[in-house]
């Protein structure tokens, strides 16, 4: 099928894009890499009169540092982020997670901002952003604001952004040297969205875990942080975290999960897989942490 007719606006600057979004309100939709939006339009699952294409806005692309934060422009292609040396060094979990996002053709067009704004609960980047303590920069007609990733995802495919706001960049705190990461998922085929997945970031000081962040994806209406596991782990000696303790933590992470059934998997299968993946992610990130 083909999309319903729309008008394409191609602003050169963020301010112009905001102006268009303010004028057209609900009738307008932002177009980034088009890897999620174009299929929805082509299948006529969504219909917008006005598309505001961000691809000419140079100020939305690029990777830089601002003090102790890595700043990635919303329109930076996923493929560029995946191979950027500064990302591999300062936010290795992000580079690793990107390998699971679709296929390289999709990542060549797909953007980091598009993935966060699309808010698919089975997507990798929203969970990774939560685990890394990322904050997004948002600009709209009422000014600029920052939204922590853990407050960004309101519902399935829905963020807290207003219709006339743009996500302009994501800020990720540079990870400490003593850290370990893991991203694990199960999908039917490589490149498919996850049926269940987990992202994990641990850091330590003086032989103890000082920060533990674990988030599940593909098992709820948004990515889900596991604060109880973090509370149990923080302050623990690395030597105390033996396999039996990790099994208990994996059970704790998934105790309250109630994933929905759908055509891809039943909720109970997703929950069982998620518990297994949390266990695996904890083992792998601890192993990396111990070597750091
Ligand atoms: C076959 C296939 C497999 C895929 N597999 C995966 C996968 O395994 N994991 C995964 O995470 N993703 C997957 N994707 C989706 C892919 O990652 C998309 O690139 C991503 O979801 C959306 O990014 P985009 O830049 O293409 O955004 P678009 O499709 O252009 O936009 C997506 C949505 O975000 C909004 N938006 C985009 N940018 C902004 C912005 N800066 N500010 C405000 N709103 C904005 C748009 O208005 C739209 O609603 C897959 C896609 C395909 C086609």
Regarding whether 80 and 46 lie in a shared domain, the answer is no
Question: Which range marks the domain in which residue 273 is found?
Answer: 179-291
Atom of ligand 1 nearest to the CA of 60: 41
Tell me, what's the pLDDT at 133?
Answer: 97
Tell me, what's the pLDDT at 194?
Answer: 92
How much distance in Å is there from the Cα of 109 to the middle of ligand 1? Answer: 9
Q: Which CATH number fits the domain that encloses residue 234?
A: 3.30.390.50
pTM for the model: 0.96
Tokens of 97: 């997670």
Residue 1 lies in a domain: no
Which tens digits make up the pLDDT trace of 74-114? 999 999 999 999 999 999 999 999 999 999 999 999 999 99
* Cα 94 to Cα 82: distance, rounded to the nearest angstrom: 7
* Cα 128 to Cα 99: distance, rounded to the nearest angstrom: 13
Regarding whether 285 and 230 lie in a shared domain, the answer is yes
Tokens of 175: 């990870």
Tell me, what's the pLDDT at 254?
Answer: 92
How much distance in Å is there from the Cα of 86 to the middle of ligand 1? Answer: 23
Q: Which CATH number fits the domain that encloses residue 17?
A: 3.30.43.10
Enumerate residues lining ligand 1, CB below 6 A: 29-37, 39, 54, 74, 100-102, 106, 110-111, 113-115, 117-118, 120, 123-125, 161, 166-167, 191, 193
Of 147, 173, 199, which residue sits at a domain end? 173
Number of domains in the chain: 3
Which residues of the chain fall below pLDDT 70?
none
Which tens digits make up the pLDDT trace of 197-239? 999 999 999 999 999 999 999 999 999 999 999 999 999 999 9
Tell me, what's the pLDDT at 1?
Answer: 76
Tell me, what's the pLDDT at 154?
Answer: 98
Residue owning tokens 């709209």 = 140
Three-class SS state of 35: coil
Residue owning tokens 């933590």 = 249
* Cα 63 to Cα 73: distance, rounded to the nearest angstrom: 6
Regarding whether 39 and 102 lie in a shared domain, the answer is no
Q: Which one-letter DSSP state was computed for residue 242? A: -
Torsion (CA) 124, 290, 170, 129 in degrees, nearest 10: 30
What is the DSSP annotation of 146-187? EEEHHHHEEETTEES--TT-EEEEEEEEPPPSSEEEEEEEE-
Q: Which helix (H) or strand (E) holds 137?
A: strand 135-140
Tell me, what's the pLDDT at 264?
Answer: 87
Tokens of 235: 């302050």
Tell me, what's the pLDDT at 260?
Answer: 86
Residues 82, 85, 86, 91, CA torsion sign: positive
* Cα 292 to Cα 130: distance, rounded to the nearest angstrom: 22
Strand 224-225 to 208-217 pairing: antiparallel
């Amino acid at each position: 099928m083909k999309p319903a007719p729309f008008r394409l606006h191609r602003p050169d600057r963020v301010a112009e894009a905001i102006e268009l979004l303010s004028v057209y309100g609900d009738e307008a939709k932002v177009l980034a890499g088009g890897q999620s939006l174009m299929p929805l339009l082509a299948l006529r699952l969504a219909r917008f009169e006005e598309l505001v294409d961000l691809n000419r806005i140079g100020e939305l692309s690029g990777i830089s540092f601002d003090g102790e934060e890595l700043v990635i422009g919303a329109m930076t292609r996923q493929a560029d982020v995946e191979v950027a040396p500064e990302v591999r060094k300062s936010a290795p979990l992000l580079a690793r997670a990107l390998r699971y996002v679709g296929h390289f053709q999709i990542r060549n067009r797909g953007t980091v901002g598009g993935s966060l704004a699309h808010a698919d609960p089975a997507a990798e980047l929203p969970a990774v952003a939560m685990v890394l303590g990322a904050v997004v920069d948002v600009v709209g007609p009422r000014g600029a604001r920052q939204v922590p990733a853990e407050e960004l995802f309101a519902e399935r495919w829905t963020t807290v952004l207003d219709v006339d706001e743009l996500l302009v960049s994501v800020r990720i705190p540079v990870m400490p040297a003593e850290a370990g990461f893991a991203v694990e998922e199960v999908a039917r085929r490589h490149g498919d969205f996850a049926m269940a997945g987990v992202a994990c970031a641990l850091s330590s000081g003086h032989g103890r875990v000082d920060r533990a962040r674990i988030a599940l994806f593909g098992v709820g209406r948004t990515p889900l942080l596991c604060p109880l596991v973090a509370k149990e782990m923080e302050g623990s000696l690395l030597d105390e975290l033996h396999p039996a303790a990790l099994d208990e933590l994996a059970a704790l992470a998934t105790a309250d999960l109630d994933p929905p059934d759908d055509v891809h998997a039943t909720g109970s299968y997703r929950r069982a897989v998620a518990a297994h993946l949390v266990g695996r992610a904890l083992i792998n990130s601890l192993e990396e942490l111990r070597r750091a």
